Amino acid sequence: METATVFLTGQEPGLAETVNVVMELQKILDGRHTNPYGKRVMELGFGEETLMPFLFNKFGEKVCRMDLGDWNQRNKKIHAGLVQGELQCLPISGNSVDVVVSVNIFEEKFDLARAIGEIERVLINGGETLLIVSSEHFCDGKLKLETSLEVVGSMMIPASNEQSNTWVVTLKKN
């Protein structure tokens, strides 16, 4: 746990315990993938926070990142390892990725459903994904959306203010 200064409207600043999500994802990946040789890994929707340095060090050259933010550059390779696309139709072959990781939270049901559908399509059988999901979509160890991906792990990320908690959920394609 880390501490951060939180400024709530109309109140004095205070310290709150926070979780470094990137570090928690790294711990989960280290624990689940002790033999990373040859794994094809994709970071989905990277932005300001990214796992790319860790993913390259752990998994090697078969790592790519999918930026979801620029519709005009869709399908254009910018530089090694970067592909840009749209969530509803990722430019990645089906059954071609071993691990999909995202540090983004897909807030809306529509976005999360699209993300899970596309992740399910690109994952190989036995492939896994780590997603950050709000409590609105994950409760009692179950995802509240239709998917054939199996929940094989979860960890709550406590909210530092009045927001709802979020979860790091590990899903597996059987």
Average pLDDT over residues 82-91: 69
Question: Is the confidence at residue 11, as pLDDT, over 70?
Answer: no
In a domain, 2, yes or no: no
> Which tokens in the block code for residue 115?
């993300």
Spatial distance between the Cα atoms of 131 and 104, rounded to a whole number of angstroms: 8
In a domain, 1, yes or no: no
Considering 13-17, 60-64, 106-110, 166-170, the range whose residues carry the highest mean pLDDT is 166-170
In a domain, 103, yes or no: yes
In a domain, 109, yes or no: yes
In a domain, 96, yes or no: yes
In a domain, 15, yes or no: no
Name the residue range of residue 81's domain: 20-172
In a domain, 10, yes or no: no
Each residue of 115-169: pLDDT tens digit? Answer: 899 999 999 999 999 998 888 899 899 999 999 999 999 998 877 665 678 899 9
Greater confidence, 100 or 162?
A: 100
| pLDDT at site 27 | 92
| pLDDT at site 128 | 97
The domain tally of the chain equals 1
How confident is residue 81, by pLDDT bands cut at 50, 70 and 90?
Answer: low
CATH number at residue 56: 3.40.50.150
Greater confidence, 54 or 45?
A: 54
81: alpha, beta or left? (left if phi > 0; alpha if psi -120 to 50) = left
